[in-house]
Amino acid sequence: MTPGVLLLIAACGVIAGLVLGPWRPRLWLALTSAGAIVALVAALWVLVGATDWEWRSGFAVAGEPLHLRLDGLSAFFLVLLSVVGGAGAVYAREYWADQQHPDSAGRGRLAWNAISLSMGGVLLISNGLHFLIAWELFAISGYFLIVLERQRREVRTAGWLYLAVSHAGTLCLFAFFVALAARTGSWELGPLRAHAELAPLFWLALAGFGVKAGLFPLHIWLPSAHANAPSHVSAIMSGVAIKMGLYGIIRFGGWLPVPPAAGGVVIGIGAVTALLGIAFAFAQNDLKRLLAYCSVENVGIIAIGLGGALLGVRHGDAPWGRLLLAGALLHVWNHGAFKALLFLGAGSVLHATGTRELSRLGGLARVMPWTAGLFALGAAAISALPPLNGFVSEWLLYLGLFDAAASRSHTAWAAMPAVIALATAGALALASFVKASAMIFLGAPRTEAAAHAHECGPWMRGPMLALAGACVGIGLAPCVFWPAVARAVGAWNPAWAGAEMPAPLFTLSAVQFALAGLFIAGGTWLWRRARANGLRRALTWDCGYARPTARMQYTGGSFAGIAGGWFAWILQPERALRRPRGPFPGRASRIERVPETVLERGIEPAGRVVMRASAAVRRLQHGRLQFYILYLAAGVAVLAMLVWLEGRP
């Protein structure tokens, strides 16, 4: 048995699930889960020491022989696809069942396997033409997953925006691969670092893959798509799909020569993306939109590590560059695990209450203890709190950035601002998830739907437990996962292969275990003491009132008020205030909305100008022949004038 045979078995399982999925949900789940597990085994096989797997077909597909490659880097991302893809499929069994969604459940299963196959193809294909085909299939299947509830207008709008922006990115990638093929004389992909003339193509790759990754300001499709898609779809879109964009940047940043400024530019984009992404997240009242913007922040964090690695390559075999790449790659896994967990938790809340607005939730911890506990664990992980996995990857990034700053080279000018941005983003992420967790699970229910919520069933709870286990496992034993990270680092840059484990990682692992023990012991002691003294439950924020009501509680606006003021220049909040007036005042209200600033204040006005100009030009086409002759004469006159001006001494 080889990784290639395992991949073939996995592909057969997923393809069979794709064909049978619309009609046989149980068989679909069995085939899809089996495919995910076998693909996971194949990827781990390569990561733990097997040689890279490579295969070339003897036949042609679209005029080119098929070339597949599974090396350390593609295997690293394939692990993420297998875990989140399998967990989402199991979750959908209860969350998007045929009984509740008879019109779309079958289509959802078909599109789920299509996106899994196409993303797997993106990771394995080493031919530019076939890569573009797989990339396009990935974009289209993602569209059909997003618009599963196509009867809703906002869902159709989100799907259209996703498709339009995805194709703008695909145009960049089409130009990138065509230029690459024209300059090398082949569609074959592989290491080409010796060809210095290819370096400018890195910018095309950064733009094309950056759209899918959600780098600021190319992220405009991401918040609405993730918010309006079903939650298991949001989980795979945020946990895996945007990582395909990062995979492209990392892959071609390793295979191709890059311009000298690439490292600094990528670090800068990463810092801006992290900071503004979490600022937008903090201002949201929509739970899934908050999670979507937080994905933008984490993409920025990964980009900071990648930019540092590019700087490390430019400065020779810099140990801090290797450390930064390791931190970025580990954060790819970590973000995939805790963000998928959080989206599945949000789906459980939405399934139970029918709303994702924070201001209409509250008090769910009493009726949804499993969801509350698992969401809190995911929130702690994404806030980089020890002893969980988010802390480990961000700690590696901090180590690399501090080492880069201590090198006293020009990299210090890029490393120190990145440290400040990373720290600020971390603080705002913690505040954002304190706000979200408190608004959803603490206090009193703000609506009847929240008051009558119910806990999710085992098919939804199981995948959340598995993802939570991954967060805890990587957090407590990062040493176990280091060989896989080192293998991916070596695949990106062979000069960095065989990197030894950083000595502080052993110490960190011991500290994480000790902290976990302290938390468990302290929690157990507090619980026993409270029970011994007579546990009395009370509402959060009851402020000592004998009869507190839900209206006395903190709101999302009160949580985010100060930080929202710091970033008002980019958030551009819209407020509608009706004050109480007169001796018998009517209803007072205060409504605040944070727009999609880049989209609504930048791209949409520019689009309206283009549409008005197009409408004006269209008036020139009216079917009158004499006017067409006049246009032709005017064009010839202008051309003659230009020729005459060019010929003047």
Q: What is the pTM for the complete model shown? A: 0.92
How far is 387 from 559, CA to CA, in rounded Å? 26
The amino acid at residue 430 is L
Q: Sign of dihedral through CA atoms 17, 23, 27, 30?
A: positive
CA distance 646 to 355: 67
**Token pair of 571, please?**
């958030």
Residues of the chain with pLDDT under 50: none
**DSSP per-residue letters across 289-336:** HHHHHHHHHHHHHHHHHHHHHHHHHHTSS-HHHHHHHHHHHHHHHHHH
Q: How far is CA 523 from CA 382, 443, 474, 520, 648, in A?
A: 21, 21, 22, 5, 89
User: C-alpha dihedral over 271, 122, 471, 461, to 10 degrees?
Assistant: 120
At residue 565, the pLDDT reads: 73
Cβ proximity of 433 and 382 under 8 Å? yes
| Distance, first Cα to last Cα, the chain | 78
DSSP 286: B
Question: Which pLDDT does position 70 carry in this prediction?
Answer: 94
Q: What is the secondary structure of 380-437 as a DSSP string?
A: HHHTT-TTSHHHHHHHHHHHHHHHHHHTTSTTHHHHHHHHHHHHHHHHHHHHHHHHHH
Picking from 166, 60, 172, 191, the residue whose alpha carbon sits closest to that of residue 115 is 166
Asked if 187 and 176 touch (Cβ cutoff 8 Å), the reply is: no
Tokens for 638?
């202008």
pLDDT digits (tens, 9 = 90+) for 567-603: 777 778 888 888 888 888 888 887 778 888 888 888 8
Distance between CA atoms of 620 and 630, rounded to whole angstroms? 11
Q: Any bridge partners for residue 70, and if so which? A: 53
Share of the chain above pLDDT 70, in %: 98
Please tell me the distance from the alpha carbon of residue 285 to that of residue 367, in angstroms, as a whole number: 22
Residue-level pLDDT at 649:
62
Contacts of 369 (CB under 8 A, 6+ apart): 455
Can you tell me the distance from the alpha carbon of 463 to that of 81, in angstroms, rounded to the nearest whole number?
14
CB 118 within 8 A of CB 134: yes
Give Cα separations from 517 to 82, 473, 477 (angstroms).
31, 14, 14
DSSP state, residue 61: E
Which pLDDT does position 290 carry in this prediction?
A: 94
* Residues contacting residue 134 through CB under 8 Å, at least 6 positions apart: 118, 121, 122, 125
- What pLDDT is attached to residue 389? 93
92 membership: H or E segment, kind and range: helix 72-95
Per DSSP, what are the bridge partners of residue 577? 590
- 445: tokens are 């229910």
pLDDT at position 217: 87
Cα 484 from chain centre: 21
How far apart, in whole angstroms, are the C-alpha atoms of residue 492 and residue 76?
A: 11
> In 3-state terms, what secondary structure has residue 68?
strand
Record the tokens describing residue 225, joined without a space.
């798509």
Residue 351 has a pLDDT of 92
Q: What is the per-residue pLDDT for 147?
A: 94
- Residue 285 has phi, psi (to 5 degrees) of -105, -10
- Quick one: tokens of 584? 């018998």
